[in-house]
């Protein structure tokens, strides 16, 4: 991956963006796309759209990711100054105990740790390894009283686990919040690469909010933007590691290319166009079955305005919804190149409706 796109990826991954509190990450994204987009806009909730204006006769294609990540939130401050928790999105109760965290306040971050009793003391319990529910966990910020704690944090402040971006072997990277900063990275890079090609299609790069709590931002954008086609870029479960459940089928591997989802939400003509573009550009793709729904923003968009052709393009991700997600940057580059190729190859298409 080239230096500038990689620096952009690191900036996104290093910026906390829990659902409902995406402003900082959206600002990073907008600064990057503003250098090559013809226009950028935002709405009342912070959804962001950048556009490359193609030929007026060409189709309008939207490539979108969501900026938010799962997290935690201050639910209560007790008499002793400990901070009780509630989840933001699908937080995993098994990965937060004993972790360093950041509480993001209006005055800046406050450091803390999620308390966990030593294993010596837990051995007397019936099930010493059973994790506590998020609502039973607490953050220790070092405060000695409720009054001291309330001077630092308040109810409703979002919390993220403090985890750095680490390069692993080869082109693999580990970080918190790959889900789904990699999606908005890909949308931005696809726009840049389509603009560099001078495609005739009009291309929108979209960064939505509040996906992890109900696909809310995509509903807003889908209605307002009304494109001819919408590709939701999100992480998808890699199946090539020891802790992937053996009874969960799939053939997704890190480093083997972006994943084209088929079925249900995924519009057959749009899927065909993406696969054809991949073949023409000699880009390897993988396939995934979505028999019911994709679990991504595509599910919120495809029923807007009487039906917007939509699909999910996945980036393989190990250990989703943990602070140690792993992706391969080769898959990211391939996804951005693929979407730019789609914008180029589909520039003459009038619409994506199915033939009956």
Model confidence pLDDT, tens digit, residues 294-334: 999 999 999 999 999 999 999 999 999 999 999 999 999 99
Distances in Å between the Cα of 251 and the Cα atoms of 87, 115, 121, 295, 336 are: 31, 38, 42, 18, 21
Q: Is 104 assigned to a binding site?
A: no
- Which strand (E) or helix (H) includes residue 182? helix 178-197
Beta strand residue intervals within the chain, DSSP E: 39-42, 48-52, 60-66, 71-77, 83-88, 100-105, 108-114, 138-140, 158-161, 166-167, 172-175, 202-208, 229-237, 259-262, 286-289, 310-317, 325-328
pLDDT at 307: 95
Is 351 marked as a binding-site residue? no
Task: Classify 263 in phi/psi space as left (phi over 0), alpha (psi -120 to 50) or beta.
Answer: left
Residue 144 marked as a ligand binder: no
CB atoms inside a 10 Å sphere around CB 185: 28
* pLDDT tens string 61-95: 999 999 999 999 999 999 999 999 999 999 999 99
Task: Write down the pLDDT at residue 127.
Answer: 75
- Token pair of 199 as six digits: 């495609």
Give me the domains of the chain, ranges plus CATH numbers: 3-69+176-345 (3.40.630.10), 71-161 (2.40.30.40)
Whole-model pTM?
A: 0.96
Is 120 known to sit in a ligand binding site? no
CB 211 within 8 A of CB 19: yes
- pLDDT category of residue 117 using cuts at 50, 70 and 90: confident
234 known ligand binder: yes
Q: Please provide the average confidence, as pLDDT, over all residues in the chain.
A: 96
CB 179 within 8 A of CB 325: yes
Confidence of residue 36 (pLDDT cuts 50, 70, 90): very high
Rg of the Cα atoms in the chain: 21
Active-site amino acid positions: 211
């Amino acid at each position: 991956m080239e230096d500038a796109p990689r620096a952009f990826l690191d900036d996104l991954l290093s910026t906390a963006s829990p659902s409902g509190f995406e402003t900082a990450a959206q600002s990073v994204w907008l600064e990057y796309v503003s250098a090559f987009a013809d226009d950028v806009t935002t709405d009342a909730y912070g959804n962001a759209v950048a556009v490359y204006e193609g030929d007026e006769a060409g189709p309008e294609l939207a490539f979108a990711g969501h900026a938010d990540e799962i997290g935690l939130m201050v639910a209560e401050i007790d008499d002793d100054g400990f901070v009780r928790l509630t989840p933001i999105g699908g937080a995993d109760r098994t990965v937060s105990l004993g972790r360093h965290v950041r509480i993001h306040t209006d005055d800046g971050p406050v450091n803390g740790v999620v308390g966990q009793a030593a294993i010596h003391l837990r051995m007397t319990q019936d099930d010493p390894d059973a994790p506590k529910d998020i609502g039973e966990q607490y953050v220790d910020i070092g405060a000695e009283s409720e009054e001291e704690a309330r001077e630092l944090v308040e109810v409703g402040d979002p919390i993220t686990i403090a985890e750095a971006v680490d390069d692993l072997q080869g082109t693999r990277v580990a970080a918190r919040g790959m889900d789904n900063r990699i999606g908005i990275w890909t949308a931005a890079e696809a726009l840049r690469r389509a603009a560099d090609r001078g495609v005739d299609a009009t291309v929108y790069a979209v960064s939505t909010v509040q996906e992890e709590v109900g696909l809310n931002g995509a509903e807003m954008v889908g209605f307002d933007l009304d494109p001819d086609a919408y590709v939701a870029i999100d992480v998808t479960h890699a199946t090539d590691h020891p802790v992937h459940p053996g009874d969960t089928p799939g053939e997704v591997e890190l480093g083997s290319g972006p994943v084209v989802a088929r079925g249900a939400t995924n519009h057959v003509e749009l899927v065909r166009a993406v696969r054809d573009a991949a073949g023409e550009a000699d880009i390897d793709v993988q396939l995934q079955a979505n028999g019911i729904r994709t679990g991504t923003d595509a599910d919120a968009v495809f029923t807007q305005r009487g039906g917007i052709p939509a699909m999910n393009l996945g980036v393989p991700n190990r250990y989703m919804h943990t602070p140690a997600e792993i992706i391969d940057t080769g898959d990211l580059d391939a996804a951005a190149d693929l979407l730019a190729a789609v914008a180029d190859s589909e520039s003459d298409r009038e619409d994506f409706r199915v033939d009956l």
